[in-house]
Amino acid sequence: MTHEFSRSHFALGAVGTSLDPRRVFGRRTVLFAALLLLCTTGQAVAEKLAAEADVAVREADVLALWEGGQPGAEAGHAFAPAGKLLGGEPVAFEEHPLFVYAIGRSPELVRRVVFFKPSTFVIDDWIKTAGPVRWREDSLGQITSVTLLPEGGIVSRPGKPGEAAVVEATPRPGEDGVHLVRVLHVGEGKTQPKRLHREGGRIELSAEADGRTFYLALPAASETGGKIEISAADGGKRLQRRLLPAGVLPHDPLGIGLLERWDSRYRREGRPGWDTGRPSSELKKAVEEGTLRPCRVVELGCGTGTNAIYLAQKGFDVTAIDIAPTALALAEQKAAKAGVEARWVLANVLNPPELGPFDLVYDRGCYHGVRQQNAAGYVAALGQLSQSGTRVLILAGSANNPNPRGGPPRVKEEEIRSDFSKDFEIEWLRETRFDTRDADAQGAVAWSILLRRK
């Protein structure tokens, strides 16, 4: 493993490859032809690099994201500067009080940016290439940088005094690209990498800075998600180990506030009221009667995973989505204890990542909440997750509930038919009851909705 302690910026291009230079420097491959990880403040160099490629990420963009994470900065303003660092709009994004996470993708580059507030950045790039990759290094000014990957095969060609050095790396045997990982520190002090483990395209990294220890696990470039943890100097957890988002989470001040409200329900002692701790009776009935058979299923709003685990135990291939990272951490623990596997995804059900079509969608209590703000968005998300013949089982609060106060959100029958009839056949729409923690108690009136994609 090679650690380089330097102040540096990088302009990245292909050298010695079999690619046609006209393709390399075409508009569709500008990120591959010239990737600027970090850019000098020198205007002449910036102009030269910009002349070679349509995209350049400048030191100013790093500092813009850094400034947005300082104490007193208003939440909801990290999305745009993160996009500039990525060279395009993020495909996954979260702004948290303790960090910012973003992913950008192109055919030639996958870039992950993790900003551990207040001063540490990890930039993880996978550059797809068959031959050597070259980048340049020189002064960054306010930012110190450490190279953690590539681990070997680096050839440094020092430039003349005042000129940038040239560094090259070649893909490892059996790999179709170069993995480049840098840790940056803005301002005084430094970030001290403590451990880096690489297995295939996956990495685990821990580092110390600002009296904290940061842990980061990132999957291969073709995968989404990852995990993060932040510890204080005394060993106490500032952020319990949890999933990173696989899609773009709400990132305006209102959306960030709603994320915290939902997640905080799972951080309190005791379960939220909707978490009964046992699989849904309506779901169990449909499975045990053979209406729903083992297939590829996604659950929307899975919470702590009770229903997802039940489906996995019955032989289903389960993907489970929720917007509350604490709920998903609890779900992972429960699944491990039960000895089953499921794919846990931190994402907004109204803006799901590309997971492919499923044979079954299950939703207990998500539709009736989100439709109040965006019924069309929910139906569009179902369209993204389904294909012709996909079945959808939804449990939703009913407007026929006689209790005038409390209980789940309520939906009218005509609203359900209006929302779904265009794209789905309604196999059944019938009244039932939500389960409660007390198996003998009667829950609120609900709709059981079974749909089939046209």
**345: in domain:** yes
Domain of 372, CATH number, reads 3.40.50.150
Q: Label residue 4 by pLDDT band (50, 70, 90).
A: very low
302 plus 212 within the same structural domain: no
Average pLDDT over residues 293-297: 98
SS3 449: strand
Could you please report the per-residue DSSP string of 20-73?
-HHHHTSGGGHHHH-EESS--S-HHHHHHHHHH-S----HHHHHHHHHHTSTTP
pLDDT at 30: 32
CA-to-CA distance for 255 and 349, rounded, in angstroms? 13
Kindly state the average pLDDT of the residues 62-75: 84
In a domain, 161, yes or no: yes
Same domain, 8 and 147: yes
| Residue with the larger pLDDT of the pair 400 and 271 | 400
**Are 109 and 8 contained in the same domain?**
yes
Same domain, 159 and 293: no
Q: Which residues pair with 26 in a beta bridge?
A: none
| Count of structural domains, the chain | 2
Alpha-carbon distance of 256 to 79, in angstroms, equals: 12
Are 230 and 311 contained in the same domain? Answer: no
pLDDT grade, residue 298 (50/70/90)? very high
- 99 and 160 in a single domain? The answer is yes
Residues 175 and 321 in one domain: no
Range with lowest mean pLDDT among 4-13, 73-82, 224-233:
4-13
* Domain final position from 223, 248, 273: 248
DSSP structure class, residue 83:
H
Structural domain including 416 reads 281-453
**Model confidence pLDDT, tens digit, residues 97-145:** 999 999 999 888 899 999 999 999 999 988 888 888 776 655 457 888 7
Pair 236, 311 in one domain? no
Do 24 and 158 lie in a common domain?
yes
Q: Which residue has the tokens 């006689």?
A: 402
Least confident of 138-152, 249-263, 429-443: 138-152
| pLDDT: which is higher, 70 or 134 | 70
135 membership: H or E segment, kind and range: strand 133-137
CB 263 within 8 A of CB 257: no
The whole-chain average pLDDT of the chain stands at 83
CA 84 to chain centre: 18
Q: How far apart are CA 339 and CA 328, in angstroms?
A: 16
**At residue 267, does pLDDT exceed 80?**
yes
pLDDT, tens digit, 9 for 90 and up, residues 140-178 = 578 887 878 886 555 555 555 555 556 677 888 888 888
pTM as predicted: 0.84
Determine the Cα–Cα distance for residues 72 and 3; give it in Å rounded to an integer: 34
Same-domain status, 218 and 330: no
Nearest to 231 by CA among 241, 221, 222: 241
Q: Are 32 and 108 in contact (CB under 8 A)?
A: yes
404: confidence class by pLDDT, cuts 50, 70, 90 = low
- The reply to whether 329 and 405 lie within a common domain is yes
Answer yes or no: do 302 and 188 share one domain: no
Q: Where is the domain boundary, 227, 248, 269?
A: 248
DSSP-derived letter for residue 411 is B
At 115 the pLDDT is 97
Q: What is the 3-state secondary structure (H, E, C) of 325-367?
A: HHHHHHHHHHHHHHCCCCEEEECCCCCCCCCCCCCEEEEECCH
Q: End of a domain among 198, 227, 248?
A: 248
- Would 91 be classed as within a structural domain? yes
In a domain, 331, yes or no: yes
Q: What pLDDT, on the 0 to 100 scale, is given for residue 283?
A: 97
Mean pLDDT of the region 282-298: 97
